[in-house]
Structure 1
């Protein structure tokens, strides 16, 4: 049920969901086909451990089969197992020494497991390693006595030569083997390359292995994973720009990993005096689900999160915001939400220079010059069935630079500095200060009650707070929680204003933030095909961190030399990026160039953009159903091919294609040559790896045998998109109607897309109390279609079928096949296509 405190006229235009939309109501009967490699509802794991005494060591088993163990050797320090650092500080390893645990001394039973006393190579220090069963797996917890001078701990687990790893977000790769993954939000390491800028990176202390297990380090302290083959220098310690220490704070050193490659182990380093971690076993889906049942399941976004979102880098005024809605309506492009980005708040007196960053952020007021009647603007947007959003931030601009408008914010937003509510050395709000947090929440609540439905939550990951004091304590234990502190405050304001009916879009995350946020966007990438490739990697890897409703800035935002004359994405790039957004859970478009005004592109580019938006709406039932699964299990919507097919070595090599759920494989066109190809009207060859089984090319209708790489010649009007033969997914075909502004679905648009196995008779079963439609992917028209033995009327074309009560027709071309329109059926009935 939707609870919404907005005018009744808007409530009537909010998309109506009905039971048929959320379940596949048209299902194949006894249709043979390849089984999905993972289940959306994984079974409970059965994890156990075995102990070695001299030296002490743990082996982890799944149903009696070893899956990993504490690595061998007697190395103390980085790269070693069960070892630790004494001395040094958060900013230096000067004077530090390394030590390790040695042999088992004694054991005793504890609830759910065993506590082991283990000697160390220091006569005056011992360790306690406690291993217990949990509802999801096994928990290992070890600490040292005494522990006051311990500054870091190290663990290492065995790794096979063919193991691959997923976890966290990455600009440069999906498979983590050979790389380092830092736990700090924001960029870290040379892996970021050109993308060492203020983009999101979720700080993930979780990874899963193709070897059949996963690990979660339960800590709020800074640490790193180093996967087999990685070295300290291979990915570099930090980016030059972000995250950076606050002014006056010391630069902390990265948690150390081995200086030489260790191909036989996964290294874990934590800058703390102890370590707790959980081990889960099973398939990637089972491991992922166990992890999220431990830390908290992601929240379920509202349906509106999946509708088209629109924004500009800078809106000139409120009239322009209203005109943007009108322009998309004129082009018959459905729009769900429009938001105003930075700036929208008050600017310094006399400042008419309006660019990104020129506002006095967190003043809590619309600028009266450019937004003289914001309530009227919001009401007019709502009246058209469109939701309204605002950019919000955790930072306070007190004096914009001359490049950002200039002037002083004195008397506008200096309450934060005057009350000491900022993190020392920064312009970030200290949310550990109760007074600061309450003022922030109260201020946002007042604004959100005007009818703000979405909060685009920017910033929160640009500073490294490890050596910075907060009101609530030292930064060492609070740094990783900062995005969560900020985002939970925004969510509280939204709930005060609207109950549970709101949208959020964030750019940074840590374990747990997905419990009270809805969506994430990959921010600030370049307007290049390299930027698109980066976004594909981000979307594939980021979704495993719980932020499964993910999308990117369609077309990018930052120009990069050689930039085109308008600093805008070229028509080819914009088209290819829109195709990627079509299969992403979140489809948002905007920026500083023509992607903010897509109606200014040439007619063919506009048409292709409309087609991409329409495809996204056609896929809404499938995406929404996957979101429901993700909110119950943590299993993401966008998945690495290796996640779905963990035993397929070739699947792990793919970082420019991905699975959308278990049945749809997408390979967006991301090669640099696509720009010249598109301009010249040439197709672009795309290498696509298809896992074993049969796959249906949704644009050509061709059935392709998998287990190999094919090269697909791809025009600008299409991209490689394959449905697994034998699969049926939720799908609202455009053949039987389109979408109006503010609409995601309505009776008559609910249905399925089915790819029958070639050579088999097509029999389906239908039941439901609402009108339904379906597309059955067949290469040629059938002789007849019957429902419960009764002939279904044949319509000449889709136009005739739209006006008919029920019937079928055949279409060729993209997504072609038998289009069915079925009247309500109270009882199950078989549909036979001959």
Structure 2
């Protein structure tokens, strides 16, 4: 929210209290509290009728400093709060002198000036990271009598800001106003399904605002030289998270808010959907699956969208008997074909659903202040909302899902969860404003934990649309309802990159777009992008997404890129393990992998898939694409062509190709199987060494799809020859070759051992 009218004036009706000089500091072993009156204190009389801003400094985790800015503290505590892994068992240093008070954790220090004007400097060692200055902190009252608190952190020259959830507008957030408020608004507006009050700075730090409710960010848009964040109320808590690299920031942030879970190996394969409003029954489903098999198109998951249930009954979790008279038999037949099954659900209960009356009588539905059930007619006639703050309601909801799991359903698409009312009463007394965004967390947590309990840890996966901070623990998330155009393809990618910069490890999108029907060019280009994402799903709204509905070439393109992805499973699995272990996403903005390259700052039409593969989707009818290649010799995984960076490159590609480049010196393991994702990835693996340099030593860790120890290799490059040592684990054989050499005059060398 903006409070000023230009630099000098406030907006009409707005008053602001700001800390002046510090009156006193109260230190303790873990931090300190600063008391800052809103004016100069030159005598006892100045202490009368004088508000005081109270600012606490503390450390919830190593390399993280928390700040709470408060005015009146007599308000009742509000729930929910983000579930944070905070602790006080890590070392901190508190130092108070006559001129400053400082708190240090790791390399990060918050230093408050105790003389002259208000100033807080955040430093890494002796280097200034950012600061809060005399006009940064504000306790605001607006013309309607509402109270807000804000802080502003300085932006350096050339500093760029990323994240704030899955946002489809400009990737760099400088100059934007961003409201953290979940909305079902598609991908073509400033609204977002997944709002996360966390941003990542190119200056090597992150900021997480610890408020589930509406948070307003003014990123260089109210004061050009500062990023402001504000909340309604009498206090504001945020965390300054140290780097120095973007990966370090994401590691610390996800250690605090939660790391992505492992997902099952089969989930990385191709998902095919019935699409949304299309007409389908078991005969249609069987024809789709037969068509994929007849065309040698590997398929891993089949998804049933909304109309697996009867119209006007969503959700009652009952198969429509008119179209699916034998659901148990159908699910058994799908499993016999080696497929997993996903079905669509949401947390909205239509009045016509038998669950409505059941939930109403038991008190499982969200209520109005007068005790009646909250209802409206958007989406489903008379729909109500499951109250996930009620443990009994969670158990009731999950008992209905368990019936489906017992039938043979393997996972759920957890759609919706954004249209959450604020004039309601929650079972546990939660604040309705805070529950609006937080509802998505509770909804997906309930379903994901049921799947873990029923299918086992590492076998749970959802396809979720809504989320907020912490929701990354319950993967996978997809980008929502986009149009079927090249423009929508680009906006979807921006959304995925922003979500990745917000701590989410996995991300997917509807191949070909959702709204409308893509022309064959859009569909085929989107296939390559979709299969070079962490998860890959063919899904649309009113039209099917089977490739033969477009043209014969689409079939060939889908086969080509599906096989490529499945052969890359040893590499993708290692990247996914890094996401689970460290919070570094599978799909990464270029700035995350190349923070020291100035060209990487604004790149939003390309990305890194894991640490070593650059992908630049083609988003033009004629196949032309312009992309940036960082320093070194890069090799196209499809064509074998080599490029030397740093350089901008413009190329034309057929539908069976795109820029997908191996990083200089990378060792990329290719699996021996390309018709399914859940094979033993280390068996028969081919270790491909791209443009190595003399004396290079590279460790390659390949997980096991069952969660076992996997295998580890060391690849050595000496005298133009590669050799491999098995460091750990077992393998039924491996091969190694070298593609290009980083040394002058290098050539393609076929070497290595097969053991």
Give the alignment's TM-score, normalised by structure 2. Answer: 0.77
Residues 86-101 of structure 1 mapped to structure 2, 5 A cutoff: 97-101=15-19
| Alpha-carbon distance change, 270 to 80 in structure 1, aligned in 2, over 3 angstroms | farther
The aligned counterpart of 1:598 is 547
Q: Does 1:511 align with 2:486?
A: no
Deviation digits for residues 144-179 of structure 1 (CA, Å, limit 9, x no counterpart): 235658721100001112001111211122111111
The aligned counterpart of 1:171 is 168
Shift of residue 593, structure 1, vs aligned partner: 5.9
Residue 253 of structure 2, aligned match among 291, 303, 314: 291
Residues 17-36 of structure 1 mapped to structure 2, 5 A cutoff: none
Residue 329 of structure 1, aligned match among 287, 293, 306: 293
| Alpha-carbon distance change, 526 to 821 in structure 1, aligned in 2, over 3 angstroms | farther
Shift of residue 743, structure 1, vs aligned partner: 4.5
The aligned counterpart of 2:274 is 312
Q: Does 1:717 align with 2:656?
A: yes
Residues 131-530 of structure 1 mapped to structure 2, 5 A cutoff: 131-133=57-59, 134-145=61-72, 151-167=147-163, 168-186=165-183, 194-195=188-189, 201-228=193-220, 230=221, 258=222, 262-281=223-242, 282-313=244-275, 314=278, 316-345=280-309, 347=310, 358-398=311-351, 409=352, 411=354, 413-417=356-360, 421-423=364-366, 424-426=374-376, 427-463=384-420, 465-473=421-429, 474-500=431-457, 501-515=459-473, 517-530=474-487
Q: Does 1:739 align with 2:675?
A: yes
The worse-fitting range, judged by mean Cα deviation, of 271-280 and 335-344 is 271-280
Shift of residue 657, structure 1, vs aligned partner: 0.8
The aligned counterpart of 1:649 is 598
Residue 102 of structure 1, aligned match among 15, 20, 25: 20
- Quick check: 2:331–2:341 contact (8 Å CA) kept in 1? yes
Shift of residue 307, structure 1, vs aligned partner: 1.1
Deviation digits for residues 120-158 of structure 1 (CA, Å, limit 9, x no counterpart): 259343232121233232121222235658721100001
Q: Does 1:580 align with 2:525?
A: no
Using the alignment, how far apart are the partners of 1:507 and 1:412 within structure 2?
Answer: 23
Shift of residue 620, structure 1, vs aligned partner: 1.6
Shift of residue 658, structure 1, vs aligned partner: 1.0
Shift of residue 594, structure 1, vs aligned partner: 5.8
- Quick check: 2:615–2:659 contact (8 Å CA) kept in 1? yes
Deviation digits for residues 605-653 of structure 1 (CA, Å, limit 9, x no counterpart): 2101111111111222211111111111111111111222223222112
The aligned counterpart of 1:128 is 54
- Quick check: 1:308–1:337 contact (8 Å CA) kept in 2? yes
- Quick check: 2:167–2:499 contact (8 Å CA) kept in 1? yes
Residues 548-627 of structure 1 mapped to structure 2, 5 A cutoff: 548-559=505-516, 568-592=517-541, 595-627=544-576
- Quick check: 2:737–2:752 contact (8 Å CA) kept in 1? no
The worse-fitting range, judged by mean Cα deviation, of 764-773 and 440-449 is 764-773
- Quick check: 2:196–2:502 contact (8 Å CA) kept in 1? yes
| Alpha-carbon distance change, 78 to 202 in structure 1, aligned in 2, over 3 angstroms | farther
SS in 2 for 1:599: helix
Give runs of ≥4 in structure 1 deviating > 6 Å. 816-821
Shift of residue 414, structure 1, vs aligned partner: 4.1
Deviation digits for residues 523-543 of structure 1 (CA, Å, limit 9, x no counterpart): 211111111111111221112
Using the alignment, how far apart are the partners of 1:535 and 1:459 within structure 2?
Answer: 18
The worse-fitting range, judged by mean Cα deviation, of 599-608 and 651-660 is 599-608
| Alpha-carbon distance change, 656 to 747 in structure 1, aligned in 2, over 3 angstroms | closer
- Quick check: 2:570–2:670 contact (8 Å CA) kept in 1? yes
Using the alignment, how far apart are the partners of 1:624 and 1:700 within structure 2?
Answer: 23
Shift of residue 519, structure 1, vs aligned partner: 0.5
Residue 114 of structure 1, aligned match among 32, 37, 43: 32
| Alpha-carbon distance change, 822 to 163 in structure 1, aligned in 2, over 3 angstroms | same
| Alpha-carbon distance change, 601 to 593 in structure 1, aligned in 2, over 3 angstroms | farther
- Quick check: 2:567–2:673 contact (8 Å CA) kept in 1? no
Segments of structure 2 that go 5 or more residues without pairing to the other structure are: 40-47, 76-144, 367-373, 377-383, 695-718, 742-746
Using the alignment, how far apart are the partners of 1:514 and 1:440 within structure 2?
Answer: 22
| Alpha-carbon distance change, 214 to 776 in structure 1, aligned in 2, over 3 angstroms | same
The aligned counterpart of 2:713 is none
Using the alignment, how far apart are the partners of 1:570 and 1:481 within structure 2?
Answer: 38
| Alpha-carbon distance change, 416 to 76 in structure 1, aligned in 2, over 3 angstroms | closer
Segments of structure 1 that go 5 or more residues without pairing to the other structure are: 1-74, 86-92, 231-257, 348-357, 399-408, 560-567, 678-683, 780-815, 825-834
Shift of residue 79, structure 1, vs aligned partner: 9.8
- Quick check: 2:195–2:437 contact (8 Å CA) kept in 1? yes
- Quick check: 2:162–2:171 contact (8 Å CA) kept in 1? yes
SS in 1 for 2:22: strand
| Alpha-carbon distance change, 78 to 280 in structure 1, aligned in 2, over 3 angstroms | farther
Pairs aligned (count): 623
Using the alignment, how far apart are the partners of 2:353 and 2:159 within structure 1?
Answer: 57
Using the alignment, how far apart are the partners of 1:223 and 1:80 within structure 2?
Answer: 21
| Alpha-carbon distance change, 774 to 499 in structure 1, aligned in 2, over 3 angstroms | same
- Quick check: 2:187–2:480 contact (8 Å CA) kept in 1? no
Deviation digits for residues 505-527 of structure 1 (CA, Å, limit 9, x no counterpart): 10111111222x12111121111
Greater relative CO (CA pairs within 8 A, separation 6+): 1
- Quick check: 2:167–2:190 contact (8 Å CA) kept in 1? no
Using the alignment, how far apart are the partners of 1:489 and 1:152 within structure 2?
Answer: 33
SS in 2 for 1:490: helix
Using the alignment, how far apart are the partners of 2:187 and 2:507 within structure 1?
Answer: 22
- Quick check: 2:200–2:501 contact (8 Å CA) kept in 1? no
Using the alignment, how far apart are the partners of 2:605 and 2:639 within structure 1?
Answer: 21
Shift of residue 545, structure 1, vs aligned partner: 2.9
The worse-fitting range, judged by mean Cα deviation, of 544-553 and 765-774 is 765-774
Residue 762 of structure 1, aligned match among 704, 721, 726: 721
| Alpha-carbon distance change, 497 to 76 in structure 1, aligned in 2, over 3 angstroms | closer
| Alpha-carbon distance change, 337 to 79 in structure 1, aligned in 2, over 3 angstroms | farther
Using the alignment, how far apart are the partners of 1:80 and 1:158 within structure 2?
Answer: 17
Using the alignment, how far apart are the partners of 2:2 and 2:670 within structure 1?
Answer: 56
Using the alignment, how far apart are the partners of 1:103 and 1:604 within structure 2?
Answer: 71
Shift of residue 469, structure 1, vs aligned partner: 3.1
| Alpha-carbon distance change, 756 to 766 in structure 1, aligned in 2, over 3 angstroms | farther
Give the alignment's TM-score, normalised by structure 1. Answer: 0.70
